[in-house]
Amino acid sequence: MSSAHTPLHVDFILTDVEPTDKKQVLEMLAEQAAKTDVLSKFKAKDLYKRLDQRESLGSTGFGDGVAIPHCAIDNLDDFVLGLMVTPRGVDFGSIDGNPVQLFFLIIGPTEQRNRHIKILSAISKIVRTPGAVDNLLRLKDRSKIEQLLKEHLTIREEKPDTEGYSLINTYIQKEEVFDEILELLSAEVEGSLTVIETQNAGEYLNRLPLFSSYWTEGSSTFNRLIQAVVPKSRCNDLIRQINLIEDTYADNPGILVTAQELMYASGSIDF
């Protein structure tokens, strides 16, 4: 499989705007999005409704002053990406309770779910980069903001694999890394991704009379298994990326990654 990292095109950048609340943020983003060629057939109020419906499922403000409002629409020709910078910040119901200053907008085709996830992952990755949010807030020139985004906001474009598939099993006991690893795999896997709740053997062995004196730990701990069917040519790179995440939390054990070549793989499942 051949692949390349493609810079994402940002359709509009709004700076020094001062929306007063969440509703006004979505209205301003919808109004600007409706001016793009891709969404020219849509009225701003209809785009607002779609963004607001997504927010009703849970705030897209994921903390650290950043939110990613997004929605999907049937039969769009392409994605629309936008950025709004609000120096004073807006209460957006973020998970950390802090005001949001950077709003990344994504509106894309319903049929391209995997690409949508890749874009979400790329944006979340750049804002987790130390200093990235501060740099975007500090820059006033739109061209410089656009250049910074082009340098860091990329997704991997790939051609279909013809060399078979591998199964990656990632066993996780560290709750703090689960979301990051799942996000990594979800951006790379076309549907064949499964999360399984598991338990330590001690959870069962301490109930057996023969083993009870050796397995006294009966409390439940965090245990999950992520299974991903991936193209064989992507296997080593994904394992490397998982290991980089693991290295960040290397003080104690809690992650085990195994991989095996599949003799046969057909179809996919939703996750």
How far apart CA 146 and CA 122 sit, in angstroms, is: 15
How far apart CA 112 and CA 117 sit, in angstroms, is: 9
What distance lies between CA 236 and its chain's CA centroid? 21
Which distant-in-sequence residues (6+ apart) come within 8 Å of 58 by Cβ? none
Quick one: which H or E segment has residue 66? strand 66-67
How far apart CA 9 and CA 224 sit, in angstroms, is: 36
The interaxial angle of helices 113-128 and 175-186, nearest 10 deg, is 130
In this structure, the dihedral spanned by the alpha carbons of residues 9, 12, 15 and 20, taken in order and rounded to 10 degrees, is -120
CB 169 within 8 Å of CB 259: yes
Active site includes 70? yes
Of 195, 183, 189, give the one whose Cα is nearest residue 68.
183
**Which of 5, 9, 70, 152 does the annotation list as catalytic?**
70
Instruction: Give residue for tokens 């940002």.
Output: 10
CB 55 within 8 Å of CB 26: yes
CB 63 within 8 Å of CB 98: yes
Quick one: which H or E segment has residue 177? helix 175-186
Which residues are catalytically annotated?
Answer: 70
